Structure 1
Amino acid sequence: MTEQHDEPRSGTSSPAAASPALARLVGMPAPDFAEHVWSRAPLLTRGSDLPRDFADLFGPDAVDELVARRALRTPFARMAKDGTTLADRTFTLGGGVGAGIGDQLSEDRVLRELAGGATLVLQALHRSWAPVQDFAAALADDLGHPVQVNAYVTPPQNQGFSDHYDVHDVFVLQVAGEKRWRIRPPVLEAPLRDQPWERHRAAVEQAAQSEPFLEETLRPGDCLYLPRGWLHSATALGGTSIHLTIGVHAWTRRHLVDAVLGRIGARLSADVEARRSLPVDPGRSSGSEVAFGEDAEVVRSLVAKALHDLSVGEVVEALRPQVRAAQRAEPLGVLDQVERATHDEQGGTTWRVRRHLAAHWEDAGDSPVLVSRVGRLEVSADDRDAVAEVLDGIRDAGDLDPRLRRRLALAGLLVPADVSGE
């Protein structure tokens, strides 16, 4: 394993079995990665130090399938050349009779642009390609942060994008061909989503003239991790290069700040002192600090008290909707689900809890509500403990009353155990 870091690390330890998806990307135990690498410095792990390559996730055949037979539309695909994104019309076309939507990928136009040196970007593969979808969901569980996945297809000796940084951490999985990567330190450390590199274009362009912190060639099976903010550019070498970029949209302390402020605002809406009108004062129209001073001090006192009274649980609760919306639950077969749930009382189906539900309970008197990524489900107080035990893995779904089990299956909370997951 080749790596650049101020502290020595071992790259040959066996990855933690508890994080199987992450173990496919880094040649070290997950706790070591979390403590020494995550959000700190780049890490290049050679394929020889990883359990296997990435051919099972994606490859040339997948590119051809998606381009020619899946009717992908923008923004699920884009193309770029020499640092410039191409207009959609250069690589899209209508689908003909019965599918005349005009922004579908045209394999002929994509072929022409690729032959001319453009890079094809297939976006959101965590939604459109099953092997990537399953792996991305497992990796998000390992990391505790939501992820997205794009594929970059670059012709030989070409560069799709100039030096830039991302506002999310990335894992680069080299699938086919070779690509030369140049990595440079951040011009803005740990940028947020509203701090894209274009806002610091001059600094980025100047930094791109300096010697790289890391310059290496990625070959099939290699994986490169980059914290958000690190500058990078890459050039395909011999043969067409295909790599997956897994973008990790990290939860940050700023998310917690926003959650805290939101809860404080909600609390103060119930405080009559915070609802009072500001006094009539002609001097306020000039924006004078003196005019606002007394009321500002009152507000500071109100906010300080609300902050003091705010519990950690309230902050966590405020983040729940964002966490639920950041991912989807495990895919299920709709028709198969209906068929099996309808005939569940006859037996023959073993059920398990659907993965990635992000479920929690909201108590509303005698009607507990189970809230998850698949919606809200009212459960009777008598059934709550049984359902909770199934969700927690301490009770088998087969022990539930058949009518309750059928209801959970039709709500999308249970899936057949013989349906393969990631």
Structure 2
Amino acid sequence: MTTPRADLRNPGVPGDAGILESRLTGLPVEEFARQIWSRDALLTRRASDFSDVFDADAVDELVSRRGLRTPFLRVAKNGAVLPESSYTASGGVGATVADQVDDTALWRLFADGATLVLQALHRAWAPVGDLCARLGAELGHPVQANAYVTPPQNRGFDDHYDVHDVFVVQIQGRKRWLVREPVHRDPLRRQPWTDHRAAVAEAAQGPAYLDTVLEPGDVLYLPRGWLHAAEARGEVSVHLTLGVHVWTRYALAEQMAEAALAALREDPEMRGSLPLGADGTAWETEGVRKRLAAAVEEADPAPLFHRARRGQERPAPLGPLAQLTAVDALGPRSPVRLREALEARLEGARLLTRVGWLDFPEAELPVIRRLLDGEVRTAGDLGLALAERLLRAGVLVPGRSSGPR
């Protein structure tokens, strides 16, 4: 089975609308940002037809033919994650890795009421990966995807919250969702729901903020920290969870503090030893505090922040055979384009990307700036030597040809 490539457009929405508006919420980005983002849950009925992105056939393809290994799949039942040994085995001759999914064991667990969780699906199923990449580019926050496949009248997990925002996309079947307001609002990544287990359990006994059944095409947005639990109705339920791993002000503060401390490492006085004696630090504290505050005031967190962002996501896929063909056949009219999702950024004479950095002479910087602005169309626009260098570095990829060479 060949993985289909989705064009990800909703024919009922204007062509210039992004994924957020056209596929998930029906709201312009500005309205979603002003009224909903990180503040409130949002249910959108019949947001889109997602059959071009994922379906039940894709589930069967992934678990039976793709040689999935843990942790790309986990299994849960009655709120607990089952041990990997209960559904993995060797793949047989030529594939003796022991942690591959055993489809027979998986079928038996599923028939007995277990939920299948296909994790990091944006890495395993191309249309889901394309959706996540485009949504992440729109939001400015990295996006990943899991799929949850739940037998009728079963639930995989009890009430809990996530430390990332989610868009729940119902693909097949119907699933009842109980949503409650946070017991710990806007949790950071290192503040999981288990830190507030008692408060979550207590809140789960109270009235729901939202009690609804999702049907195919419905989308539910939940900010991080919102409690939720879900149960399949009278048929198998398949849904995607698009997890938005939001950047926070706290994360920016971490980068600022790291930049300040890096500057203080170069200050000889700050590297000096404290006085002898148990009370020797008391009178030093105020001076250190002032120097630290000054360093924070002068710190530029942007380089560290951009480096962290580049490390959070992967660039668009690159085919080595197509790339080599493009290098070997390179000519002035060869179409080329900047590889998507590179997070490319020019700092002085250095181009920083998710696949590394390159330095350029002053004479080449204007054409690099045009490349980043999307103006370059052919290898001749760049210059053949520069185009080849960027192709070999994985910064450029072959573009679509508009005619004979």
TM-score bin (small chain): over 0.9
1:321 aligns with 2:298: no
- Distance in 2 of aligned mates of 1:323 and 1:391: 18
Alignment equivalent of 1:187, drawn from 176, 183, 188: 183
Counterpart amino acid of residue 28 in structure 1: L
For each residue in 1:68-92, what CA deviation from the matched residue of structure 2 results, as whole angstroms up to 9, or x when unmatched?
1111111000000000000001111
Structure 1, unaligned stretches of length 5 or more?
1-12, 285-290
Q: CA deviation at 1:275?
A: 1.2
Residue identity (%): 48
Aligned to 1:307: 296
- Distance in 1 of aligned mates of 2:202 and 2:281: 43
CA contact (8 A) 1:157 1:237 kept: yes
Residue aligned with 1:56, SS: coil
Aligned to 2:338: 353
1:72 aligns with 2:53: no
Counterpart amino acid of residue 41 in structure 1: D
Alignment equivalent of 2:394, drawn from 409, 412, 416: 412
Aligned to 1:26: 25
For each residue in 1:363-419, what CA deviation from the matched residue of structure 2 results, as whole angstroms up to 9, or x when unmatched?
3xxxx2211012122322211211221221234344121121122122112222229
Q: How much is the aligned-residue C-alpha RMSD, in angstroms?
A: 1.7
Counterpart amino acid of residue 251 in structure 1: W
For each residue in 1:212-243, what CA deviation from the matched residue of structure 2 results, as whole angstroms up to 9, or x when unmatched?
00000000000000000000000000110000
Q: How does 1:186-335 map to 2 (within 5 A)?
A: 186-281=182-277, 283-284=278-279, 291-310=280-299, 314-335=300-321
Aligned to 2:16: 17
- Distance in 2 of aligned mates of 1:300 and 1:16: 54
- Distance in 2 of aligned mates of 1:23 and 1:296: 55
Aligned to 1:400: 382
Alignment equivalent of 1:341, drawn from 327, 332, 335: 327
CA contact (8 A) 1:15 1:29 kept: no
Aligned to 1:375: 356
Residue aligned with 2:168, SS: strand
Q: CA deviation at 1:320?
A: 1.4
Counterpart amino acid of residue 400 in structure 1: L
May I ask how many residue pairs the two structures share in their alignment? 389
Residue aligned with 2:294, SS: helix
For each residue in 1:316-354, what CA deviation from the matched residue of structure 2 results, as whole angstroms up to 9, or x when unmatched?
11211110011111112111111122111275x311211
- Distance in 2 of aligned mates of 1:328 and 1:26: 26
- Distance in 1 of aligned mates of 2:392 and 2:376: 19
Residue aligned with 2:25, SS: coil
Q: CA deviation at 1:22?
A: 4.5
Aligned to 2:369: 388
Counterpart amino acid of residue 293 in structure 2: A
- Distance in 2 of aligned mates of 1:29 and 1:361: 31
Q: How does 1:102-181 map to 2 (within 5 A)?
A: 102-181=98-177
Counterpart amino acid of residue 30 in structure 1: V
Residue aligned with 1:121, SS: strand
CA contact (8 A) 1:181 1:234 kept: yes
For each residue in 1:128-170, what CA deviation from the matched residue of structure 2 results, as whole angstroms up to 9, or x when unmatched?
1000011100000010000110000000000000000000000
Q: CA deviation at 1:358?
A: 0.7
CA contact (8 A) 1:16 1:29 kept: no
CA contact (8 A) 2:335 2:377 kept: no
- Distance in 2 of aligned mates of 1:228 and 1:346: 50
- TM-score of the two chains, using structure 2 as the length reference: 0.93
Q: CA deviation at 1:16?
A: 9.1
- TM-score of the two chains, using structure 1 as the length reference: 0.89
